[in-house]
Chain A
């Protein structure tokens, strides 16, 4: 069990800035995100696109904004718990117990939900009942590539993840099928060339303009049935299936935490962005109140105000004093400035 002043759910821009606002008040935080990296929508949906409305930053990109936020919170040496989702929140006296999908458990007086539009989850192929295969031989990422040694692997997708794994696994797998819904690929050109070379050397089988129609098998997928634009059907015998259809945001477990919701967002007050539960705050895209705008700059403001209330709950015996970063020697110490 990890004891901390605050648990931040979501490492998007607003969750990252919440680390800073807590940090300068002398509070430590642990951050949990389902993605494998920090940055939320900025890094997952638009790393290269420009952003023009961050105050005092005439232009940045999703990626550079994330990098700068990480730089800004560096002094606090915050622990990130990535690749895991916060599944449950339960009350224990005046504290909260937070548990993740990897069974990491926290005890904390403060939870800041900066969950955006929800956690990023893999998109699944449009086939009914495929959940039963997920425990066995249907995967949306590669955890250990050795698991595919000597196997017949069917890979779906046309982006970098799909093609990178086609190339990598073709070295050790028995057979690779690559199936994509059109004959153009999103992946980087040199990766596409490499894959095409493997195809010409008959090291992989490529099916373009095909989409998954059904997965046959009892507990495991034994056959993948695919169909093309002309309704022609092919059956592929496989040992495992890797589907790379990107990620989608799902509100997920947040709906079960007893918080007042309004159309996929959490209702908060605008004084300290607390929800209907004491010590649970919501900031950024996930919160709503009269006049809410889903903008990064609004999220930053929300995080600053929530942090003040977190301080009162984490340090009930200390007096809160408002200070500027310019002149406070306490803040300078926390930022490592001599």
Chain B
């Protein structure tokens, strides 16, 4: 199973296995990782699943859809590495991906 590393804002690291096909958001929720609210349950409608993707991984992710770009306008303190974690689905190519969580989700 692919592994995903979540780094909380306070630096706490969680390395968890996430089923292929689940989103990075769902991986966090299933493993009770704090810091991703996901108010809309993954419908790209709330921007409360915002993460910063580690520099080494940004180019390996699928492109952002227009809907994700629009929704990211609402996220708190976006950077060039900002993504909505409900829009990134885990597969073997993403084994080892590292994401950091923002200070808050809005």
Task: Bin the interface of chain A by size.
Answer: 20 to 34
CB distance from B44 to the nearest CB of A (A): 10
Query: Is B92 close to A, CB under 8 A?
Result: no
| A97 CA to B31 CA, complexed, in Å | 41
Interface pair B39/A249, CB less than 8 Å apart = yes
Tell me which residues across on chain B come within 8 A of A158, comparing CB atoms.
Answer: 73
Interface pair A45/B40, CB less than 8 Å apart = yes
Query: Is A207 close to B, CB under 8 A?
Result: no
Tell me which residues across on chain B come within 8 A of A229, comparing CB atoms.
Answer: 80
Query: Is A245 close to B, CB under 8 A?
Result: yes
CB distance from A19 to the nearest CB of B (A): 25
Chain A at the B interface: SS class: loop
Query: Is B14 close to A, CB under 8 A?
Result: no
Tell me which residues across on chain A come within 8 A of B16, comparing CB atoms.
Answer: none
Interface pair A126/B76, CB less than 8 Å apart = yes
Interface Cβ pair total, 8 Å cutoff: 44
| A46 CA to B76 CA, complexed, in Å | 20
Interface pair B73/A245, CB less than 8 Å apart = yes
Interface pair A123/B40, CB less than 8 Å apart = no
Query: Is B43 close to A, CB under 8 A?
Result: yes
Nearest chain-A residue to B76 (Cβ)? A126
Interface pair A49/B43, CB less than 8 Å apart = yes
A182, A184, A248, A294: the one within 8 Å of B106 (CB): A248
Tell me which residues across on chain B come within 8 A of A46, comparing CB atoms.
Answer: 40, 43, 45
Interface pair A246/B74, CB less than 8 Å apart = yes
User: Most chain-B Cβ atoms within 10 A of its Cβ — which of A126, A159, A182, A211?
Assistant: A126
| A46 CA to B71 CA, complexed, in Å | 12
* CB-contacts of B28-85 with A (<8 A): 39-41, 43, 45-48, 69-70, 73-74, 76-78, 80
Tell me which residues across on chain A come within 8 A of B46, comparing CB atoms.
Answer: 45, 248-249
| A249 CA to B80 CA, complexed, in Å | 25
Interface pair B48/A181, CB less than 8 Å apart = no
Query: Is A109 close to B, CB under 8 A?
Result: no
Tell me which residues across on chain A come within 8 A of B103, comparing CB atoms.
Answer: 126
Interface pair B78/A246, CB less than 8 Å apart = no
| A46 CA to B46 CA, complexed, in Å | 10
CB distance from A247 to the nearest CB of B (A): 8
* CB-contacts of B77-106 with A (<8 A): 77-78, 80, 103, 105-106
Tell me which residues across on chain A come within 8 A of B48, comparing CB atoms.
Answer: 248
Tell me which residues across on chain B come within 8 A of A41, comparing CB atoms.
Answer: 40
Tell me which residues across on chain B come within 8 A of A211, comparing CB atoms.
Answer: 78
| A159 CA to B73 CA, complexed, in Å | 9
Interface pair B39/A245, CB less than 8 Å apart = no
| A117 CA to B46 CA, complexed, in Å | 12
CB distance from B82 to the nearest CB of A (A): 9
Tell me which residues across on chain B come within 8 A of A197, comparing CB atoms.
Answer: none
Query: Is A312 close to B, CB under 8 A?
Result: no
| A229 CA to B78 CA, complexed, in Å | 11
| A46 CA to B45 CA, complexed, in Å | 7
Q: List chain B positions with a Cβ less than 8 A from chain A.
A: 39-41, 43, 45-48, 69-70, 73-74, 76-78, 80, 103, 105-106
Q: List chain A positions with a Cβ less than 8 A from chain B.
A: 41, 45-46, 49, 117, 123, 126, 157-159, 180-182, 184, 186, 211, 229, 245-246, 248-249, 294
Sample of 15 further A-B pairs with CB below 8 A, known A158-B73, A182-B73, A249-B46: A45-B40, A45-B43, A46-B43, A46-B45, A49-B43, A123-B76, A123-B106, A126-B103, A157-B73, A159-B73, A184-B69, A186-B70, A245-B74, A246-B74, A248-B105
Q: Which 3 A-B pairs have the closest CB atoms?
A: A126-B77, A246-B74, A248-B106
